[in-house]
Structure 1
Amino acid sequence: MNDRAKGGTGDAPPAGTRRAGAPRGASRPAAQGLFRRLFVINGLVFATGTLVLALSPATVSAPVVWAEVPVLLVGLAVMLGANALLLRRSLAPLDALTTLMQRVDLLRTGDRLSDSGNSDLTHLIATFNAMLDRLEAERSASSAHALAAQEGERQRIARELHDEIGQSLTVVLLGLKRVVDRAPADLKEDLHGVQETVRASLDEVRQVARRLRPGVLEDLGLHSALSALTTDVSRMSGVPVTRHLQPDHPALGPDVELVLYRIAQESLTNIARHARATRAELSLAVEDGRLVLRITDDGRGGVVQEGAGIRGMRERALLIGARLTVDSPPGQGTRVSLVIPPDRRTAP
């Protein structure tokens, strides 16, 4: 993990200060340019209207007679219509900017406003896009720090479960075995029941420790870890999981492998708990130069609101510069796709 990730996003600057890289008075050129454009548009409309009135044969009496009122109303309507049309074209980028501001989500990167060619608003659009770049970078650094702390805590808990609770249960199991061998016949059945309960608890502790810390990922690699994961999910949930793992994909960095494993783990866990599926499929392959992980099921689908699990997957995808999509039409199952660009396979 790099120093930036370890440091998080840092303290927010005091009110009234500007960030490094933002020029002093950066908003003034856009505001002044927009003011000039609107002033010129209104000036041209009024000047044209005045010129037409001056050169036309129409006259205005004092006081105004009723026959002249339609001419004045038509002239006013034409001026207002021309003014509205020109202003609408000039302010159209602001509508696009407002729409983008309403839908922007830092967990869905790459949503930017394109320059429409309006030179007066180019600086405003560029400043807004730069703000999104900065916020996404800070969110990525903050997520990296939080996820690193989370993984460290997972490993600590897994070690304690394995080394302390697991060892204690093993000692209890061995002690019960000796007691059962020497116990009277009328107590052996009860002691056997206690022995099986302790053995089941030991197995559960080991399973929890494996889920918290995928040791097989560190020891045997991503393919073996995903194979073990699908086997465990199939056995525990009763949902058969078919896997298709391309054997010759490019080498991956440890952070990328961990993100792939955690997203597959969360997706399969959601299928086991909520999907009511009869089958599921996991695939990992290279498509058009990009590494793609897909997890699909034939369950009820209809994911309307994303919970903590899906948002956690999006944060992990953001950490390695990947794109996560969740397609879940009602009654047609759920399809989770993680696409990793070629330049991010060795993520920081």
Structure 2
Amino acid sequence: MGPFSARQEETRESSRQSADDPSHRRQRLMVGAAGLLACLFFILDLQLPLGVANAVLYSAVVFLSAASQYRWLPIGTAITCSLLTIMAAPFSPRVPGLPAWFEWGNHLFSLFGIWTPVMFIYQRRRTELLLKEVNERLEQGVEARTADLAASRLALERSEEQLHTLTGRILTAQEEERRRIAQDLHDDVNQRLALLMLDLQAVDRQIGSAPAEAQDGIRNALKGLEELSDDVRFMAYRFHPSILDDLGLKAALQRLLDDFSSRTGVKALFVHQPLDHQLDKTTSTAVYRVIQESLSNIARHAKAPRVEVEVTVEDEGLVVVVRDDGRGFDQRAIDRAEGGLGLLNMRERLLAVQGSCEVESNPGRGTTVSMYVPLVRVAT
């Protein structure tokens, strides 16, 4: 079979498929109905003195053809009806008493009546095409705008993710630096102060016969060194509590609350569940720092007589709640201001370990800080 025969076979197959299509059958029936009506009106025109009335009848055929999907059908129908009108003009019955030019004028007016629907139909189709084109352009514009917004949103989400990642790295580096400084203060500066105190104590024992002023000076120096050593030790603890690395989060929080109570006079209650394993260092540090920041805010602003810290494990997550019965604050004002720096720092620390933080407060009714951190255990 040659290429030409193959193309013929494809054409025949396409024609068979078109013939079996219900929509094509309806279109063919519509064409047949239009032709049948045109022939019927032509017979009426030959038998009756219709005059202008045949334009009305033929116009109905043209309007019927407009419902077809074939764009050529209205023009083809109008041409057919025009030819039928012209053909019937010499053979139509005459109306007695009317001049010939009047009858011919009726037939010419009938032609105008036949073609008027065609102009209306094509003007309507042209308007529909223009509207369709405008709608397509609008849809394309909306799709392009939607794609731009989606890309912008994706870029924003990536930027936020990168920002949170960077913040987490900065906080981790900060904690490492705090740990190093605390170790240096404890292992170097504090040890040297201890040695200096031992030297002064030895000197104090050796100058028993010295004037009282010299002995008082030595004792004052020893007292100052002791206070300085305590300050350095507390400073090292504030930079990074070694108890957090040595004994874990529970012991570090108990020590934090004890120091908070002794320093501020606020009664602190620690409620907790036992943890099966030691938490990883990053999570423990984040939780410790957030609780430390919460206690600092209570000491500065709340004027609370009582504080409660509750640590529980729920659904493979660590839930921490810090409550106080202080004076509270207007949470709506804080929300409008997008939170203070301390609250922002707390949330960023928890985001770095995939956690979250919520604050609830009302004036005169205290404040509750709720935290949730996915539980990552490290075997000891």
TM bin (shorter chain): 0.5 to 0.7
Alignment TM-score, normalising by the size of structure 1: 0.59
- Cα offset, 1:225, TM superposition: 1.2
Q: Which has the higher helix share?
A: 2
Asked whether the 8 Å contact 1:266–1:309 carries over to 2, the reply is: yes
Asked whether the 8 Å contact 1:229–1:265 carries over to 2, the reply is: yes
Which amino acid in the other structure matches residue 323 of structure 1? Answer: S
1:261 correspondence with 2:277: no
Q: Where do 5+ consecutive residues of structure 1 fail to align?
A: 1-117
Asked whether the 8 Å contact 2:249–2:279 carries over to 1, the reply is: no
Residues 249 and 279 of structure 1, relative CA distance in 2, 3 Å threshold: farther
1:295 correspondence with 2:322: yes
Residue 281 of structure 1: which of 308, 316, 320 is its match? 308
- Cα offset, 1:284, TM superposition: 0.6
Residue 361 of structure 2: which of 325, 328, 338 is its match? 328
- Cα offset, 1:310, TM superposition: 2.0
Q: Where do 5+ consecutive residues of structure 2 fail to align?
A: 1-141
Counterpart-to-counterpart distance in 2, 1:307 and 1:166? 36
Residue 131 of structure 1: which of 134, 139, 155 is its match? 155
Residue 350 of structure 2: which of 269, 294, 317 is its match? 317
- Cα offset, 1:289, TM superposition: 4.7
Residues 194 and 300 of structure 1, relative CA distance in 2, 3 Å threshold: farther
Alignment TM-score, normalising by the size of structure 2: 0.54
Counterpart-to-counterpart distance in 2, 1:163 and 1:288? 41
- Cα offset, 1:122, TM superposition: 6.5
Asked whether the 8 Å contact 1:249–1:286 carries over to 2, the reply is: no
Q: CA deviation digits over 1:132-185, x for unaligned, max 9?
A: 431221111110221122112212221222233212221221122123222436
Residue 239 of structure 1: which of 266, 285, 295 is its match? 266
Asked whether the 8 Å contact 1:159–1:209 carries over to 2, the reply is: yes
1:147 correspondence with 2:174: no
Name 1:35's counterpart in structure 2.
none
5 Å-filtered alignment, 1:1-348, equals 123=147, 126-127=150-151, 129-181=153-205, 182-183=207-208, 184=210, 186-187=212-213, 188-248=215-275, 252-302=279-329, 304=334, 306-341=339-374
Counterpart-to-counterpart distance in 2, 1:301 and 1:211? 26
Asked whether the 8 Å contact 1:278–1:299 carries over to 2, the reply is: yes
**Secondary structure of the corresponding residue to residue 338 of structure 1:** strand
Residues 340 and 200 of structure 1, relative CA distance in 2, 3 Å threshold: same
Asked whether the 8 Å contact 1:246–1:284 carries over to 2, the reply is: yes
Counterpart-to-counterpart distance in 1, 2:303 and 2:217? 37
Counterpart-to-counterpart distance in 2, 1:326 and 1:236? 25
Asked whether the 8 Å contact 1:249–1:285 carries over to 2, the reply is: no
- Cα offset, 1:119, TM superposition: 8.7
Asked whether the 8 Å contact 2:197–2:226 carries over to 1, the reply is: yes
Which amino acid in the other structure matches residue 308 of structure 1? Answer: L
Counterpart-to-counterpart distance in 1, 2:293 and 2:179? 17
Which amino acid in the other structure matches residue 201 of structure 2? Answer: K
Structure with larger Rg: 2
Residues 168 and 341 of structure 1, relative CA distance in 2, 3 Å threshold: closer
Identity rate, percent: 37
**Secondary structure of the corresponding residue to residue 279 of structure 2:** coil
Residues 326 and 203 of structure 1, relative CA distance in 2, 3 Å threshold: same
Which amino acid in the other structure matches residue 362 of structure 2? Answer: P
Which amino acid in the other structure matches residue 287 of structure 1? Answer: E
Matched residue pairs, number? 229
- Cα offset, 1:270, TM superposition: 2.1
**CA RMSD in angstroms, aligned pairs only:** 2.8
